[in-house]
Amino acid sequence: MTHWRDQLEADGFAFLRGALAPADVARALAEWDAATRAPAARGAVLTGESGPAYGARNVLDLWPGAAELARVPVIAAALEDVLGTGAGIVRGLYFDKPPGHSWALPWHKDYSLAVKEHRGGDTFTKPTFKAGVPHVIAPQSVLDRMLTLRVHLDAATPNNGPLRVIPGSHRAYHERADAPRAAVALECAAGDVLLMRPLLTHASGHSAADAGHRRIVHLECAADAVLPDGYEWKWFVSVAELGA
């Protein structure tokens, strides 16, 4: 059997199966529900017209406890293995495909970083604001030292729009440079954690009308607390210091 570390290097993704126990999943869902009821949730939680929440930005402010998911021993050990002891969580997002309110995403790579302010320079490009937070596009040299955790609070099945990826595509910065490989649909159980490189080309389709939720906490992590050109992360939650 291929070790997750070998698969991550070869394909740009790997699963930590059963990383969260059912009790951990239930606690996370309860904490998330409580966080979205707070006044601070306004503007950060994304909803359709009169529909349920399908996503959220600024999760590390909205629900600081989300960072604690990285303290689960198997997850913390994986982060240290890949990124080193100085790793930190630098952005948190939330995704769902609520029953009857699905959505889809085309093929893409994740280039955006959340920063404290736009500063110019040559390293980062395309300054924007997302939910009031400055964002920039990062170069490959920065993205290659990052890892994303997708913590699944529900199973990902063929019916609820699972993530689809192009194995090995994390080696190229642009999609046009990806090696030709067949897409893979990533199915998993609640409590599984997907590790993926930001430059892994990925997409997801609509869920079936009768499918259940597909709730995911998306935590972006970086090896380095310091960014080039005087930029600073908007958030940097040290994994080693969580709960200390």
Whether the pLDDT of residue 243 is over 80: the answer is no
Structural domain containing residue 72: 4-238
**Average pLDDT, stretch 172-192?**
97
In a domain, 244, yes or no: no
The model's confidence at residue 4, banded by pLDDT at 50, 70 and 90, is very high
What does pLDDT average to over the chain? 93
Report the percent of the chain where pLDDT is more than 90. Answer: 81
Q: Tell me the pTM.
A: 0.95
Total structural domains within the chain:
1
In a domain, 177, yes or no: yes
Residue pLDDT, tens place only, 115-172: 999 998 999 999 999 989 999 999 999 999 999 999 999 999 999 999 999 999 999 9
DSSP structure string for 57-120: S-HHHH-GGGGGGGGSHHHHHHHHHHH-TT-EEEEEEEE---TT----EEEE---EEEBS----
pLDDT of residue 108: 98
In a domain, 243, yes or no: no
In a domain, 31, yes or no: yes
In a domain, 100, yes or no: yes
In a domain, 200, yes or no: yes
Q: Edge-to-edge, what's the strand order for the sheet holding 163-165?
A: 105-108, 202-204, 163-165, 184-185
CATH number at residue 105: 2.60.120.620
In a domain, 197, yes or no: yes
In a domain, 193, yes or no: yes
